[in-house]
Structure 1
Amino acid sequence: MNSANTLRHKTIVGTIWTFLEQIFRVGIQTITTIILAWFLLPEDFGLMAMIAVFFAIGNSLMDSGFSQALIRKKEIDEIDYSTAFYSNLVLGLLAYLLLFASAPLIANFYDDSRLLVLVRVVGLVVIINSFQLVQVADLTRKLNFKIQLKVTMPSVIFSAVVAISMAAMGFGVWSLVAQMLISAFAATALYWIVNKWRPSKDFSVESLNEMFGFGSKLFVSGLIDTVFQNIYVIVIGKLFLPTLVGYYFFAQRIQQLVVAQLTEAVQRVTYPALSTMQDDTKALKDFYQKIIQVVTYIVFPCMIALVVLAEPLFSFMLKEDWLPAVPYLQLLCIAGLLYPLHAINLNILKVKGRSDLFLYLEVVKKLMVVLILLVSVQFGIFGILVGQIVGSVLAYIPNSYYSVEMIDYSIPEQLKDFIPTLVISITMGGVMYFIGLLLPLGDFAYLLVIGLLGTLFYVLTNHLLKMPAQLLMLQLIKEQYLKKS
């Protein structure tokens, strides 16, 4: 196996391990959320959603792009690692102090005094996470995602058990807070046990300037992205009741189980792998074409199937209190279809070291989001959700624009690589919907039978049409099997 094929194999296998880690972690969290929904009120989830943006901002400040800079750096030494570690600790403490001081303002903004203590307690997660950032970057740089799965499993399970137990005993929103704190602490402790890297006493201002010079632009763009990813929750929380925020937050968490986690898995693996070949434009284009084909092959049918199965899924798993969240989930799934394409195109800019363009694009897109939100909010929550769909479609144009310049991967080529998969996925959804109308099935039977029929239709259609993504995945599975045997 030549070096290009070896890297491709490591990248795809790494993506699989990372996706397993992501899907396991978020899968357990989602299952836990569903169980918690039997004990908690939508309002409890709404309170957590309302402070999520501030917690995410604290994490972004703590990171400040150092993890991405460490992963991308061609030549790295102990001083770089230690410099990033101490920088993250200081930034993590600073971020928490800012959260602590701003807690009264946040509570006043939402006109809910309960948020004062919640912000100050949940903010401790930022300090805890600052101890694990370099450990994760080190393992990611080595493409060692198997160990990360081993760390995730016990920490997520343990925190889930504690959260469910607390909810059953009547602790309300504090069971969600405990879940976050325990998960972060357990994962950090396990990273320090399984990974042997330890910081030295060295600190380099030169290394700090170099990494921050690259990472700072990613930090600012990431900060903007964090605020705007949560801007819908901020607006809903400000204008509507916490219960409606809870519906939105719950639906968003279900949607992200597939789309956000798979995309993050692809980004985490492809970024360090492709950074090693950042000067080979032809190879980068070939890799990215395959990545887009594989990711859309998985994400598109999952999102469309979730649109069809949303109502029986909620009816089967949740109390009637949560049924109003069904259309939220359906619209969010449609809005999330293009999310992987946005992220993959932006990854090209990071691999090429163009964090300045990355930041520029974020500013342009967020201005577009503001304009769409100003119009859509006039039509209530569902207007806001439809606005997200419109914004996702429009954002694809600037996100994919620089792929033409960087790796000569034009928009028509990209469309050719994913439109057939989208058409097959939509057709699958239509088939599932009409078969569901013909068969009188209960909720569980509907999920099982219609879900299975949709899967068979999708796989067989891809097989008959000899779709490249399915052939590539079969090839990789075969290579992995031969390697083990």
Structure 2
Amino acid sequence: MVKSKASIFSGFFWKFNEQITGQLVSFIVSIVLARILAPKEYGIVALVNVFVIIMEVFVTTGFSSALIQKKNATRLDFSTLFHCSLVFSIFLYIIIFLCSGLIARFYHNDDLIPVIKVLSLRLPISAFNSIQMAYVSRHMAFKKIFSSTTIATVASGVLGIALAYMNFGVWALVWQGLTSVLFQTLVLFLEIPWRPYFEFSISEAKVLMNYGWKVLAANFLGTFFLQFRSLIIGRFYNAADLAYYNRGSRFPELISNNVDGTISSVLFPALSQYSDNLDKLKEMTRRSMGMSSFVIFPLMFGMAVAAKPITILLLTKKWLPSVPFMQCLCIAFCFSTISNANMQALKASGRSDVLLELEILKKPVYLAFILSSIRISVLAVAISMVLNNFIEMLIDVLPNKWVIKYPYKEQFKDIFPTFLLAIIMVLFIYPIGFLHLNSILEIILDVIVGAIVYLSGAYLLKLQPLFYFLSYLKCLFKGRS
């Protein structure tokens, strides 16, 4: 059944609330923990997360995407893929458990062994959670995710902070990360009616995995090479350097997850309903890209300008080495938002084969940038990511010239006014840094001036995303009055 405009917007509303609330609480928790713990302790968890995140791809992406994309997924489909995901996750946990010593030796750090064994318990929990998320996405019941994410983030955050104050060090981060997904799974178990049944169909598994394995492979390649960067930094430098890099990426990731994550999570199941209507698919993709870039561009450019006062205010001066990484990665994420919109359109159209081909095409470029920059410095790696994301964006746009008839020229025309307006905003706020104000005043002035310039310009240029947001806000307030 095709989702209505109201249900799609309701999905956006609750998914965005979930993203904002969850990320805001997580952000506050991470700031408190960063002020208590040392960069080296963050680095140890970052090293272990390289392997855990890669393994999680196998149990969270292909299975759930197949359930969302299939138009008439049944109870048998859900149970079949649940059993596949759970068994596979236990198998992967055993592998990473047995390889913990090898991983520790690779990094020359035996302290990683117990952390690997405990943090990897996320795998079977994530397997269960991914099927729950697929059920919620199919039913556009994002209000359920909002409540479960809020409860899980708050509970795990309180636990992490308490352990940090009790001098548990790196284990504060380990238990926070593990209990976050555990609490969310438990809350969703109580909130949604779906339960796994002892039923399995080999034929249904083959049909679903025919689509799902390509999405899984594409996501695996993307995630592996994304984490490969952290693996290489941790191997050639040290845990503290990796912590500075990851901390620099944390702020732009916060924005990207809230905006692109929200739009992608809600739009994919909505777009999938129009897989046979390419004109409608193109229209919704254009709207998605317009909304994402309208929000992402000014926030990323503004954050790059205000990176130093933000870091001093929130994290203290001990994290100042992360500033140049934050600035570079803010720009890199701007290109990623265009890539994400195009990838969602391809995925929704059922062309998972093209997704896989794109990932295979992009990875040699990524490897070339990483391997050529890692010997220079960690900052060189961050700069190379800006160039890499730009090239990846050009590659990701290409197939939609044929799939949904949305070529480079049209996409550039759609995003250029927003990009130009964000640049003009930067020209107004950049000189504020020369006033030598304290961090709070500088950030406040940056936000006020930037918002006035950007929103005024958007109104004068009559940018569609601005009026789209305003019209829906008007509908939202009317509906709640």
Whether the TM-score (by the shorter chain) exceeds 0.5 is: yes
1:441 alignment counterpart: 437
1:192 alignment counterpart: 189
**Matched position secondary structure for 2:399:** helix
1:202 alignment counterpart: 199
Alignment partner of 2:211 out of 208, 211, 214: 214
Write out per-residue CA displacement over residues 378-397 of structure 1, whole angstroms, 9 at most, x where no aligned residue.
32111111100000111112
Kept in 1, the 8 Å contact 2:432–2:442? The answer is: no
2:106 alignment counterpart: 109
**Matched AA of 1:74:** K
Matched positions, count: 481
Kept in 2, the 8 Å contact 1:59–1:95? The answer is: no
2:238 alignment counterpart: 241
CA distance in 2, matches of 1:370, 1:183: 32
Say yes or no: does 1:68 pair with 2:65. Answer: yes
Alignment partner of 2:470 out of 471, 474, 477: 474
2:428 alignment counterpart: 431
2:302 alignment counterpart: 305
Say yes or no: does 1:99 pair with 2:74. Answer: no
Kept in 2, the 8 Å contact 1:63–1:91? The answer is: no
**Matched AA of 1:178:** W
CA distance in 1, matches of 2:61, 2:133: 15
Alignment partner of 1:279 out of 276, 288, 295: 276
CA distance in 2, matches of 1:349, 1:317: 39
2:315 alignment counterpart: 318
**Matched AA of 1:24:** T
CA distance in 2, matches of 1:33, 1:348: 33
Say yes or no: does 1:347 pair with 2:344. Answer: yes
1:78 alignment counterpart: 75
CA distance in 1, matches of 2:203, 2:118: 35
Distance 1:366 1:8, change over 3 A: farther
Kept in 2, the 8 Å contact 1:254–1:329? The answer is: yes
Write out per-residue CA displacement over residues 341-373 of structure 1, whole angstroms, 9 at most, x where no aligned residue.
111111122111111111110011111101122
CA distance in 2, matches of 1:314, 1:58: 32
CA distance in 1, matches of 2:302, 2:44: 30
CA distance in 2, matches of 1:396, 1:355: 18
**Matched position secondary structure for 1:37:** helix
Write out per-residue CA displacement over residues 259-287 of structure 1, whole angstroms, 9 at most, x where no aligned residue.
13321221111111111111111111111
Q: CA deviation at 1:167?
A: 0.7
For structure 1, the 5+ residue unaligned runs are none
Kept in 1, the 8 Å contact 2:78–2:131? The answer is: yes
Question: What is the alpha-carbon root mean square deviation over aligned residues?
Answer: 1.5
Kept in 2, the 8 Å contact 1:282–1:407? The answer is: yes
Kept in 2, the 8 Å contact 1:62–1:95? The answer is: no
**Matched AA of 1:445:** L
**Matched AA of 2:196:** P
Q: CA deviation at 1:64?
A: 5.6
**Matched AA of 1:406:** V
CA distance in 2, matches of 1:95, 1:19: 32
CA distance in 1, matches of 2:94, 2:88: 10
Q: CA deviation at 1:446?
A: 1.2
Kept in 2, the 8 Å contact 1:23–1:258? The answer is: no
Alignment partner of 1:455 out of 443, 451, 462: 451
Distance 1:155 1:227, change over 3 A: same
2:117 alignment counterpart: 120
CA distance in 2, matches of 1:378, 1:171: 34
Kept in 1, the 8 Å contact 2:19–2:257? The answer is: no
Say yes or no: does 1:392 pair with 2:389. Answer: yes
CA distance in 2, matches of 1:46, 1:432: 33
Higher mean alpha-carbon deviation, 19-28 vs 452-461, is at 19-28
